[in-house]
Structure 1
């Protein structure tokens, strides 16, 4: 007998770290999901694989080649990914463009002593690259790597130098080749001292501190060099963009200096605001502040130049578009471009998250073609927009993969097997289900609802079995269990996902009168939204009470005809809370339901016999019908027998107990039958 097992779905959230996401020239996105590196395909909106290997949480990822250097790596048959973790280790992974397979290559020697905070690099040629890493240990390590051009060859890694930056650690790095000076590389770093430090070096010599740029009044969070700017047919200047927690974005210009005789007659505004001079071998570069961009209302965590546009038929020549993407904790991403007439940099596109429960974006990234932008947020979520306009820009949200960004504490199948319910310490309950495509021949898994967004870590869940509407009970780090019931909007969405029809087929679900749920800004309960109440409610102004401290935008539960995006999941797919079950003295830890859907058993964290009781609740009336005392410590798991006549429990006191259940009338009376020591 043979059995074939195939992975059909991976759900994972992004670690809440600034430099955690990287979009590569392979058009794949890499991100850290706890101790693993997850890879997702934006075109499919699916996580295609995970790369386990790190022993600590993954802090940052970086592709070689990145989207900026895709034009240099068109002949490469393998692309490479660097990932750094909280223990200071950096790993190198290989992705084959031929068969789409991944493999571990090596762990970079001489690891950092503390967590890696940023990795950045550049492609010097089709297969030569330099990358740098910075860490909380106050060092910046610089490496050269030679990538193989054909299958079977190995990477060659060589250490260049380690720079000590002192107690004011660096959290942002950027590398670039200096224009008009082949062989010299400039390294920019910024961090806790509010300054941008520039180092100059090459592949053989040491990196020497050249100068520093002052202007920001808070921590530097992101740096990115443009490709050399062409003026009069000569690549003579370079642009550096920086963002900070002072909410400002600054653009610095580095221009190759002419001889002093050629500059005597040149008098302009730049001559009065010139900054420091960077020397690199025989050449020197005048640095000045090109522009100051003000528009964000909170910390700007990320800035990135738009990937270059290829201008030659062979793909070797390109130009740098004058376009910058910024992401901020004010929940918005902005695209900045200079005006054609005045040259002033202006915000031309703004996209953002309207959900009140999000705290902003940790980073923004351009797609490989420059027609897509991706953000990752505080809640471990992704947000993708694509420019679908023809004559003018029209950025529309797109589907992305999703999942929990913290420990998944419990999981359960629906009684029909139509969907999967999971709870996590990220304080959310999520429902995943296969969604049939329009052709009806295959399906892909997506998160279709987020029934609960809580204020406590959720520890356990049990789906109510038997007939009737979908219901579940969950327990969190609180002394009360909560009962939820599926609203009409979810039932129609689930039916649409399975059959592309929103009409509900089951007669016992036709009488559901609750359309969705709302949650108050300061409460933990989710209040029902009734069908008749929605029909009678007048339309509100679009600018009335949106996302303020005093009010929270009302949910708009609707039947979804395609997999929802993050903005819909975060607020409009809540389930109403129907009951609260009081009785336990500590935080809930375990739940289970019998097969007939008549009894629910619950336990809580305990260190004494009285607190370690198992409570039994009757489904429907939700009255406590039994309290079972046998254990002295936390009951970690419970299960009913197939005929529901026995209840098995296991505990941290190294015992398991079997209880016999005798039902009398409408209620059940439970008597402990067997107690065994393990």
Structure 2
């Protein structure tokens, strides 16, 4: 959708670490998943691979459950904000239909079976049945109950068992027992004959996931339950005449594991549930279960067989099937990764997979398995053969799972890199080579850190500096393998050809280390000797070099490649600050790095300068004057000035007096710059009208300032309706004497302004406000224009980082601005 010349080109946002946040709508080929406080919509079968298409905004806290309601235009979502939201398809998008209240705490689980009813469970211990009222076209709270005192539901499974409105509800949670309920849904929408029918024992830990399937061949139902005890149990539910009543007449010993739990359903029906099978194979918590969406047909006998997909915290996806001869359920396929030795939920690791999804593309017959993990990415495995014996990894979606705090464009304006509180730096670039479509993807993960990432800036074409929630800055350099990847798939030349050979080949993160090491550096003698010994023991094995792995790619790297083979080596650590880093900036020629840290006093509210030309040595001069944390730093485009804004409501402007020595002199410390915190600043491009910069404030204003030889003068002010968190100016040049500027507000809104510098007033002129359907859900952390016009000089590109965990890219038509 293009409105007012603005188009959302890409959204990168990770899936929440929850078990019920991913679902698929077969009729629309649409995947919906919980992403931060929003619901992301994505077509995994799209040929153009554009990734997430849009996000739905209403929840105020993390989304914990998302489900499409079958045979209806509705999506139901739940969150930590205690709300259940129902979304309805309207034209080509989903819009909020209604919000349901009933829970008092976070909603932990959600189950949907048909368009008539769904059920939710919460951290308040309550389980609520919501029934659809066709006359009012809304859902109503029909029944609320608690299993028992101090029990919290973690998973639910709802199954309709006949056309008379009879249902079975399975509840698992913070005990090792599985609770079975039966009830009848009457025509008027009320719940009748609601009873606890059975209590199933056997698991040894909390139950995490449940899934029903109709076993058509045996005219019964099978319930699969997965637990933190690492086991999967299958339970068979029989109805009416299929129930074996012979044990009532004979006095014989029945093992507890095979015991039939018999109960009444409604007024006239009966049910019996018993243990069927134990599936053993996972090494950690079982987190998700999904029955095959249709029966698998045996190629020899033509019989229909059930298959079960399971996901686990051991980073494995397993496909289970019953062996015909022995009747034992066995693993017939295993996907995912090999788990790291010693890394499990018992040792505090939160890796592995959180859920699984299985669907079939009716057009091609291909089967798809999806799973979301710790890093926020949704991995996709595709099988094109009819037997689904082999699966191959294919392109999914990636994105941060916590607030994105900073981003910067490459010096050539071709790609950008963001940093996040999820402790990663991610490089995004356009996939253009040998394609009809142009789409943006994550091409590298330069830094995977042990601290939350806060800020980033480029030093040169090949190096960047980043600051995390620690006291030091780190400098990284692009690898030869990533350079080749960007050149081959994105048509981007990062460095001149004569400098390519000097780049490190690849990098890796040592065990228990925080620093990425170049793989072609000289290694310690002991380590080298050990590797030589390993090579001698297995001479036939030919290791595959990491750069060769990336060179063989014909598309963007998948998640396992991003984590292992796209790191940048760390060149330097820059010390000096007493508290955690808040911002950094580099001079246009890459010779100076300026940085600041958190502070509540003037002692630490200083700017430290590092001289790149002198092996990143810190300058003896410390730039003082502020009293509280400096929030943003930026050098002028000509490199003559350094601007700093602070929480103390002041800005300071420094002139570079001796660049070689990193010496500065104070031009002005403005103590009346704003009535509230100054959040950001940005310089206008070099022009014939003078030197100008912008400051953005919590007082809902953006001010334009002009720099003269000895003073700074306020020129004009733009007032908006929300605090301005970030401001960015297109810095390549003026366009017809206009400077193009973008504001990022605290509520997530984005607007574009222009200023005619040839006039005396130099007022802000509003050009466009972004439609709220395409803006982030929460505060804009940082926004930045690319340093060049794209698509034959017809588009501005604006990258946006937000607290809602998303990184977004927008194109703005030049004609709509000027």
Please give the alpha-carbon distance, in whole angstroms, between the structure 1 residues aligned to 2:443 and 2:533. Answer: 26
Partner of 1:550: none
Correspondence 1:459 to 2:448: no
Partner secondary structure for residue 246 of structure 1:
coil
**What is the aligned counterpart of 1:672 among 666, 671, 675?**
666
Partner of 1:161: 143
Identify if the C-alpha distance between structure 1 residues 134 and 653 changes in structure 2 by more than 3 Å, giving closer, same or farther: same
Alignment of 1:577-596 (within 5 A): 577-596=570-589
Identify if the C-alpha distance between structure 1 residues 504 and 653 changes in structure 2 by more than 3 Å, giving closer, same or farther: closer
Identify if the C-alpha distance between structure 1 residues 539 and 305 changes in structure 2 by more than 3 Å, giving closer, same or farther: farther
Q: How many residues align?
A: 626
Alignment of 1:566-581 (within 5 A): 566-581=559-574
Q: Report how far residue 90 of structure 1 moved.
A: 0.6
**What is the aligned counterpart of 1:338 among 312, 322, 325?**
322
Q: Report how far residue 173 of structure 1 moved.
A: 0.4
Partner secondary structure for residue 558 of structure 1:
helix
**What is the aligned counterpart of 1:361 among 353, 356, 362?**
353
Partner secondary structure for residue 400 of structure 1:
strand
Alignment of 1:129-528 (within 5 A): 129-145=116-132, 155-165=137-147, 166-179=149-162, 182-204=164-186, 205-206=191-192, 207-231=194-218, 235=219, 237-258=220-241, 263=246, 273-280=258-265, 281-309=267-295, 321-354=305-338, 356=340, 359-369=351-361, 371-389=367-385, 393-439=389-435, 441-465=436-460, 469-499=461-491, 506-528=496-518
Question: 1:202-254 CA deviation, whole Å, 9 max, x = no partner?
Answer: 213332221211111110101111025333xxx3x111110100111000001
Partner of 1:316: none
Partner of 2:725: none
Please give the alpha-carbon distance, in whole angstroms, between the structure 2 residues aligned to 1:405 and 1:139. Answer: 28
Q: Report how far residue 424 of structure 1 moved.
A: 0.6
Please give the alpha-carbon distance, in whole angstroms, between the structure 2 residues aligned to 1:321 and 1:140. Answer: 34
Q: Report how far residue 80 of structure 1 moved.
A: 1.6
Paired residues of 1:355 and 1:570 also in contact (CA < 8 A): no
Alignment of 1:501-650 (within 5 A): 506-530=496-520, 558-559=550-551, 560-620=553-613, 621-625=615-619, 626-650=621-645
**What is the aligned counterpart of 1:91 among 85, 93, 100?**
85
Alignment of 1:654-669 (within 5 A): 654-663=649-658, 666-669=660-663
Q: Report how far residue 540 of structure 1 moved.
A: 6.8
Paired residues of 1:307 and 1:320 also in contact (CA < 8 A): no
Please give the alpha-carbon distance, in whole angstroms, between the structure 2 residues aligned to 1:132 and 1:541. Answer: 57
Partner secondary structure for residue 611 of structure 1:
coil
Paired residues of 1:175 and 1:188 also in contact (CA < 8 A): yes
Q: Report how far residue 269 of structure 1 moved.
A: 11
Identify if the C-alpha distance between structure 1 residues 608 and 24 changes in structure 2 by more than 3 Å, giving closer, same or farther: same
Q: TM-score, with normalisation over the residues of structure 2? A: 0.72
Higher RCO (C-alpha under 8 Å, 6+ residues apart): 2
Q: Which runs of 5+ in 1 are unaligned?
A: 66-72, 148-152, 312-318, 545-552
Q: Report how far residue 507 of structure 1 moved.
A: 2.7
Partner secondary structure for residue 612 of structure 1:
coil
Please give the alpha-carbon distance, in whole angstroms, between the structure 2 residues aligned to 1:260 and 1:276. Answer: 10
Partner of 2:765: none
Please give the alpha-carbon distance, in whole angstroms, between the structure 1 residues aligned to 2:535 and 2:271. Answer: 54
Identify if the C-alpha distance between structure 1 residues 265 and 274 changes in structure 2 by more than 3 Å, giving closer, same or farther: closer
Q: Which runs of 5+ in 2 are unaligned?
A: 298-302, 344-349, 524-528, 539-543, 673-818
Identify if the C-alpha distance between structure 1 residues 670 and 329 changes in structure 2 by more than 3 Å, giving closer, same or farther: same
Identify if the C-alpha distance between structure 1 residues 52 and 437 changes in structure 2 by more than 3 Å, giving closer, same or farther: farther
Please give the alpha-carbon distance, in whole angstroms, between the structure 2 residues aligned to 1:405 and 1:175. Answer: 30
Partner secondary structure for residue 511 of structure 1:
helix
Question: 1:286-306 CA deviation, whole Å, 9 max, x = no partner?
Answer: 211110111101110111211
Q: Report how far residue 523 of structure 1 moved.
A: 1.1
Identify if the C-alpha distance between structure 1 residues 325 and 646 changes in structure 2 by more than 3 Å, giving closer, same or farther: same
Paired residues of 1:586 and 1:605 also in contact (CA < 8 A): yes
Please give the alpha-carbon distance, in whole angstroms, between the structure 2 residues aligned to 1:542 and 1:635. Answer: 56
Partner of 1:115: 106
Paired residues of 2:465 and 2:475 also in contact (CA < 8 A): yes
CA-based RMSD of the aligned residues comes to 3.1
Q: Report how far residue 667 of structure 1 moved.
A: 2.3
Query: For structure 1, which segment, 372-381 or 478-487, has the greater mean C-alpha deviation from structure 2 after superposition?
Result: 372-381
Please give the alpha-carbon distance, in whole angstroms, between the structure 2 residues aligned to 1:438 and 1:208. Answer: 61
Please give the alpha-carbon distance, in whole angstroms, between the structure 1 residues aligned to 2:77 and 2:407. Answer: 29
Please give the alpha-carbon distance, in whole angstroms, between the structure 2 residues aligned to 1:268 and 1:378. Answer: 52
Partner secondary structure for residue 106 of structure 1:
strand
Question: 1:98-125 CA deviation, whole Å, 9 max, x = no partner?
Answer: x5322111112x33100011110112xx
Partner secondary structure for residue 494 of structure 1:
helix
Paired residues of 1:518 and 1:554 also in contact (CA < 8 A): no
Please give the alpha-carbon distance, in whole angstroms, between the structure 1 residues aligned to 2:89 and 2:576. Answer: 54
Partner secondary structure for residue 501 of structure 2:
coil
Please give the alpha-carbon distance, in whole angstroms, between the structure 1 residues aligned to 2:622 and 2:589. Answer: 20
Paired residues of 1:32 and 1:38 also in contact (CA < 8 A): yes
Paired residues of 2:243 and 2:272 also in contact (CA < 8 A): no
Paired residues of 1:492 and 1:504 also in contact (CA < 8 A): no
Please give the alpha-carbon distance, in whole angstroms, between the structure 2 residues aligned to 1:372 and 1:260. Answer: 36
Identify if the C-alpha distance between structure 1 residues 543 and 364 changes in structure 2 by more than 3 Å, giving closer, same or farther: farther
Identify if the C-alpha distance between structure 1 residues 146 and 403 changes in structure 2 by more than 3 Å, giving closer, same or farther: same
Q: Report how far residue 513 of structure 1 moved.
A: 4.0
Please give the alpha-carbon distance, in whole angstroms, between the structure 2 residues aligned to 1:169 and 1:506. Answer: 60
Please give the alpha-carbon distance, in whole angstroms, between the structure 2 residues aligned to 1:283 and 1:609. Answer: 77
Q: TM-score, with normalisation over the residues of structure 1? A: 0.86
Paired residues of 1:308 and 1:321 also in contact (CA < 8 A): no
Query: For structure 1, which segment, 419-428 or 625-634, has the greater mean C-alpha deviation from structure 2 after superposition?
Result: 625-634
Partner of 2:66: 61
Please give the alpha-carbon distance, in whole angstroms, between the structure 2 residues aligned to 1:87 and 1:265. Answer: 49
